Amino acid sequence: MLTRRHIRIKVMQALFAYYQGESLDRNRSLNGLNDSINAIYVLYLYELRMFWQFHRFLEERLEIETQKQFPLQPRIDRIKQLLDLPFMDALVQDEGVIAAWEQHRIFWGETVDVLRNAFFIFWSTELESGWVDSSEELSDQDGVLWFKRFYREAIANNESIHSHYEDVSMHWADDLDAAQMMAVQTLQNAKRGKPLLVNLFKDASDEAFGPTLFLKCMNAHDEFMDRIIGKADKWDYERLAPVERCLMEIALTEIVQFPEVPIKVSINEAIELAKQYSSEKSPGFINGLIDAIVGDLKKEGRIQKIGRGLIE
C-alpha cells in the first residue's frame, strides 16, 4: 500500500502540472491526480502479471527438458518442485488477481519478449550455478527465497522493463518502488495463505489525504506564496524552482490545515523530497524558509495540533 510520502509526491506533481499548465481547471487537475494515484495500482498489477508469465516460462522449460533425447531427471524434478509450490500455484490461480487483471486489461502482449529475455538470462545463470540440477529436495521456504531472488535479480532492477514502463507512463519511474513493495507483500501473502491482493491505501484517511491536500494547497496558495516572498527577498523567490515552491506549499498547508500531522513530519518530508527532486542547496533553503514562516504562524495562533503533534 502507498505511504503518505508517495502520496505527497503525487500531490507535488499535480500541483506542478497545475501551476505550469495553461488551463487552471481544478476539477481536471484533481481528476488527473486521482488517475495518477490509481495508475500505481495498475503498475502493481503488471508486476503481478510477471509472476504468471514466469510460471508459463517454467512450464515451457519443463516441456523442453522432458522432450530431450537425454533428459536430466534432477533438472526435471526441480522444475516440477517449483511449479508445485503452494504459493506459486496461488499466484497464478487466485480468482481475485485474475479478475483484477481482466478488469484493468493487464496483458503484456507484444512486449512479453522483454520479460522472456529477463527470464532467460536469470535461468541461464541458475543453470550455470548448478542449482537447477541439484537433487536436494526443495522445501517451501527454499522455494519462496528462490522466487524472491528471481524477482529481485531478474525483474526489480531490470532496465529494459523499466524502460518499457517509462514508455507507458512518464510517472511510473517514480511509482515503481511503491508498486514493487506491494508485489513483495503479495508474495508474503501467498506464502502465508492470506488474500493476495494488496490495497492501494491503508485506510480511508490515507485515501482522502491526497485529494484533500491538493485542494487545500490551491486554496492557500496566494497566502503562502506571499509569506514566502516576505521571508525571501524578491530575487531569492524568483530563483526558487517551481518544484521547491510546491514542496513548501504542501508543507505549510499540512502544518496549518492538518492538525493530526506533526509539524516536524511535514517539514522533514519537504526536505527529503527536495533532496530527491531539487538541487543540492534546496533542502537547507527550504528548511530555513519554512521554519521562519512557521514561527510567524505560531505567533498568530494559526497552528493547532492534536496528539503527538501538539505544539510545545
Of 264, 266, 250, 265, the residue nearest 215 (C-alpha): 250
User: Where does CATH 1.10.940.10 sit in the chain?
Assistant: 204-309
Superfamily of domain 204-309: NusB-like (1.10.940.10)
Of 65, 68, 48, the residue nearest 132 (C-alpha): 65
Per-residue pLDDT of the chain (312 residues; tens, 9 = 90+): 899 999 999 999 999 999 888 567 889 999 999 999 999 999 999 999 999 999 999 999 999 999 999 999 999 999 999 999 888 888 889 999 999 999 999 998 888 999 999 999 999 999 999 999 999 888 888 888 898 899 999 999 899 999 989 888 888 888 999 999 999 999 889 888 899 999 999 999 999 999 999 999 999 999 999 999 888 876 567 778 889 999 999 999 999 999 999 999 999 999 999 999 988 888 998 999 999 999 999 999 999 887 654 544
User: Alpha-carbon distance 278 to 287, whole Å?
Assistant: 13
Residue 272 near residue 8, CB atoms below 8 Å: no
DSSP state, residue 72:
-
Residue in this structure with the C-alpha cell 527536495, named with its chain if needed? 274
Angle (CA) 102-59-156 rounded to 5° is: 65
Contacts 24+ apart (CB under 8 A), 282-288: 282/241, 282/244, 285/244, 286/244, 286/247, 286/248, 286/251
pTM equals 0.89
Cell of 230: 516576505
Q: Report helix angle 95-104 to 86-93, nearest 10.
A: 40
User: Alpha-carbon distance 105 to 45, whole Å?
Assistant: 10
